[in-house]
């Protein structure tokens, strides 16, 4: 199984000289199973350069798994060139939108309204279909199995575990670890704390034996106090989580768009130091920053 990163920023694209090393595109991850089945995690602006690469390998058969429908994770979808080419097949997977009262098929309806985009879905020539997923119910893609797990974000957000011939990777999408909204002295604290621990315990159990954890690490621990409820994790928190899970490799992603490459490296080095890891050193797990073009072979 191979994993390649095409977009690693969060919230809004941030191209320019200050983000050149790690990249300015928003979230998109390509996964190839052992039989070369194509799984795409999210359709941020990083899906556009991926599309240009795929044009060399026609016809395209792609399974796109959307973690959630915030703009930075879907805004590249209308620019996914294989959608316009006859003979290609694209299946778009995602959760049920409780606000819209519809499945993942509503993404195209929203994005391709003529007021916002000059091309309508009817003009796309690929074979396009949609699959609304059920929490915990695995989906088979070639020789890989993709299992959605509900995580914590202001909208429905699925993290995806991909298993293929004994190797495994999990991507959180956007995720803020569950926490107790009550203070310890409040009447509802104990009951809510039990619920938080059950949710986290169920997720940890689902990630047993994981080889690679790709986690939303938008903020530092120092920044987080002003970001509570925004639906994102921290570098320090994910390092601790990866250690608790015993994963082999942690890839920190969804980089804050206002953070330059230099600032990102400083924040990362500080988080590693606080965790007792030396930058670039060997540790358990191995900890990396995602960057456009990074490829992992499992």
- A 10 A CB-CB count for 109 gives 12
Instruction: Pick the range with the lowest mean pLDDT from 14-23, 212-221, 227-236, 268-277.
Output: 268-277
* Residue pLDDT, tens place only, 16-63: 999 999 999 999 999 999 999 999 999 999 999 999 999 999 999 999
What pLDDT was estimated at residue 102?
85
Cβ neighbours for 157, distance < 8 A, ≥ 6 positions apart? 67, 68, 95, 150, 151, 173, 174, 175, 231
* Residue pLDDT, tens place only, 125-174: 999 999 999 999 999 999 999 999 999 999 989 999 999 999 999 999 99
What pLDDT was estimated at residue 112?
85
- Compute the radius of gyration of the chain from its Cα atoms: 19
Q: Cα separation of 89 and 96, whole Å?
A: 22
Report whether pLDDT(282) > 50. no
What pLDDT was estimated at residue 182?
85
Contact 96, 189 (CB under 8 A): no
Q: In the block, which residue shows the tokens 């778009």?
A: 92
Q: Diameter of the chain by CA atoms?
A: 62
pLDDT band at 283 (very low <50, low <70, confident <90, very high): low
The 8 Å CB, 24+ separation contacts for 144-152 are 144/1, 144/31, 144/33, 144/34, 144/37, 144/39, 146/39, 146/63, 146/65, 146/93, 147/206, 148/65, 148/95, 149/203, 149/206, 150/95, 151/175, 151/203, 152/176, 152/177, 152/178, 152/199, 152/231
Answer left, alpha or beta for residue 116, where phi above 0 means left and psi between -120 and 50 means alpha. Answer: alpha
Q: Cα separation of 73 and 62, whole Å?
A: 17
In order of their start, the domains of the chain are 2-297 (3.60.15.10)
What pLDDT was estimated at residue 268?
97
Of 21, 98, 87, nearest to 54 (Cα)? 87
pLDDT band at 280 (very low <50, low <70, confident <90, very high): very low
Tell me which of 110 and 263 has the higher pLDDT: 263
Percent of the chain at pLDDT > 70 equals: 98
Tell me which of 215 and 106 has the higher pLDDT: 215
What pLDDT was estimated at residue 281?
44
Query: Which residues are bridge partners to 67 per DSSP?
Result: none
Cβ neighbours for 276, distance < 8 A, ≥ 6 positions apart? none
How many residues would you count in the chain? Answer: 298
Report whether pLDDT(178) > 60. yes
| Residue 144 buriedness (CB in 10 A; 0-12 / 13-18 / 19+) | buried
Contact 2, 13 (CB under 8 A): no
The mean predicted confidence, pLDDT, of the chain is 94
Q: Cα separation of 194 and 144, whole Å?
A: 34
* Residue pLDDT, tens place only, 74-133: 999 999 999 999 999 999 999 998 877 888 988 888 888 888 888 888 889 999 999 999
């Amino acid at each position: 199984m191979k994993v390649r990163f095409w977009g690693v920023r969060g919230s809004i694209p941030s191209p320019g000289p200050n983000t050149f090393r790690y990249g300015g595109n928003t979230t998109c991850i390509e996964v190839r199973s052992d039989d070369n089945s194509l799984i795409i995690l999210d359709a941020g602006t990083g899906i556009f350069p991926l599309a240009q690469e795929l044009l060399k390998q026609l016809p395209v058969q792609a399974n796109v798994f959307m973690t959630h429908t915030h703009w930075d994770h879907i805004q590249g979808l209308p620019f996914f060139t294989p959608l316009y080419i006859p003979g290609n097949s694209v299946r778009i997977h995602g959760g049920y939108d409780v606000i819209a009262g519809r499945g993942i098929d509503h993404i195209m309806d929203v994005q391709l309204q003529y007021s916002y985009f000059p091309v309508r879905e009817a003009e796309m020539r690929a074979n396009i279909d949609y699959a609304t997923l059920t929490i915990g119910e695995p989906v088979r893609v070639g020789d890989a199995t993709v299992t959605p797990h509900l995580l914590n974000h202001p909208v429905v957000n699925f993290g995806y575990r991909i298993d293929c011939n004994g190797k495994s990777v999990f991507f959180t999408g956007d995720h803020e670890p569950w926490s107790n909204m009550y203070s310890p002295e409040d009447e509802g604290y104990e009951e809510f704390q039990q619920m938080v621990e059950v949710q986290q315990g169920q997720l940890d159990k689902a990630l047993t034996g994981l080889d690679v954890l790709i986690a939303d690490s938008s903020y530092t621990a120092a920044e987080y106090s002003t970001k509570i409820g925004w639906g994102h994790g921290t570098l320090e928190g994910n390092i601790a989580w990866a250690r608790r899970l015993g994963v082999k490799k942690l890839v920190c992603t969804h980089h804050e768009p206002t953070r330059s490459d230099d600032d990102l490296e400083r924040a990362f080095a500080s988080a590693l130091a606080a965790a007792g890891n030396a930058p670039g050193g060997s540790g358990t797990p191995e900890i990396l920053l995602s960057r456009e073009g990074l490829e992992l072979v499992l």
